[in-house]
């Protein structure tokens, strides 16, 4: 399962931050490398072919966004994970820039724990999306093609529906608390109303036409045939 250590390249012009991030990720078993500015980041990235690149937005020579755009234009970096570090003041002006292909962004000031957990989450997500098709009974859920199949016939789910179903089905039988579902599918910062999960559950049940999502009242939901 846990194969070779993932390589992470961290680019920031503040040595302190580099050190803290590097230290904390190394402690988690990642192989860390650092770059001190935009040009350095590009160079190192080409050399190392890291699995994840953490880019500060504000850096000398090239901003994180420029680095990201440059790398994304290369075939070898299509699938490389990228996280932006943004000062809060950057936010509005640069959120658009996140459309350049970042997989997540973390705002400063940085809590090592938060960053580490985001990184872990990202790798988890990738590991799953990397071909981990879930099959339970006659139901197959393919995260690569974004398709659910029951006895061969394909069913199209919307994004949230799919993510929710995939989460539940990834551990069949296990109950997911509503909170858990929220933070896994919607994220910790997004707040949605109480009925949102229900509505999506209903759509899933409706579309699948098979009774495979069970309610555990007062607790949550589970996937089960």
Partner DNA sequence: TTTTGTGTAAACATATTGTTAATGGAAAAC
Partner DNA sequence: GTTTTCCATTAACAATATGTTTACACAAAA
| Residue in the structure block whose two tokens are 């966004």 | 65
Q: Which residues, listed in sequence order, are joined to residue 105 by a DSSP beta bridge?
A: 84
Least distance from its own copies to the Cβ atom of residue 16, Å: 7
The correct pick among 74, 144, 192, 225 for binding DNA (CB under 7 A) is: 192
User: Does the protein bind its own copies through residue 69 (CB under 8 A)?
Assistant: no
Which residues 1-20 are close enough to bind its own copies by CB under 8 A?
Answer: 14, 16-17, 20
Q: Which is nearer to its own copies, 4 or 99 (CB)?
A: 99
Integer Cα distance of 168 and 180 in angstroms: 11
Token digits for 10? 């961290």
Least distance from its own copies to the Cβ atom of residue 210, Å: 19
User: Does the protein bind DNA through residue 200 (CB under 7 A)?
Assistant: yes
182 makes contact, choosing from its own copies, DNA, none, with CB < 5 to 8 Å by partner type, with its own copies
Using CB under 7 A as the criterion, what x/- string covers residues 111-150 for binding DNA?
----------------------------------------
Who's near 18: CB < 8 A, 6+ residues apart? Answer: 10, 12, 34, 36
Per-residue H/E/C for 140-205: EEECCCCEEEECCEEECCCHHHHHHHHHHHHCCCCEEEHHHHHHHHHCCCCCCCCHHHHHHHHHHH
Task: Give me the residues that bind DNA (CB under 7 A), please.
Answer: 156, 158-161, 178, 186, 190-196, 198-202, 205-206, 215-220
């Amino acid at each position: 399962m846990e194969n070779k250590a993932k390589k992470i390249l961290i680019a920031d012009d503040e040595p302190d931050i580099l050190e803290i991030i590097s230290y904390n990720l190394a402690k988690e078993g990642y192989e860390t490398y650092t770059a001190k500015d935009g040009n350095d980041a590009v160079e190192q990235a080409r050399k190392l072919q890291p699995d994840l690149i953490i880019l500060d937005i504000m850096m000398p020579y090239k901003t994180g966004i420029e680095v990201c755009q440059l790398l994304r234009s290369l075939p070898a970096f299509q699938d490389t994970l990228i996280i932006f570090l943004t000062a809060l003041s950057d936010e509005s002006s640069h959120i658009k820039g996140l459309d350049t292909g970042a997989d997540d962004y973390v705002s400063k000031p940085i809590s090592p724990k938060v960053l580490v957990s985001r990184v872990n989450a990202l790798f988890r997500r990738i590991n799953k999306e990397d071909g981990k098709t879930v099959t339970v009974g006659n139901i197959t859920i393919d995260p690569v093609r974004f398709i659910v199949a029951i006895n061969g016939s394909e069913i199209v789910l919307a994004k949230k529906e799919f993510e929710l179903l995939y989460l539940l089905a990834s551990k069949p039988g296990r109950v997911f608390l509503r909170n858990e579902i929220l933070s896994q599918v919607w994220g910790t910062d997004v707040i949605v109303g109480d009925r949102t999960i229900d509505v999506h559950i209903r759509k899933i049940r409706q579309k699948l036409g098979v009774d495979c999502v069970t309610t555990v009242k007062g607790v949550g939901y589970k996937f089960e045939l």
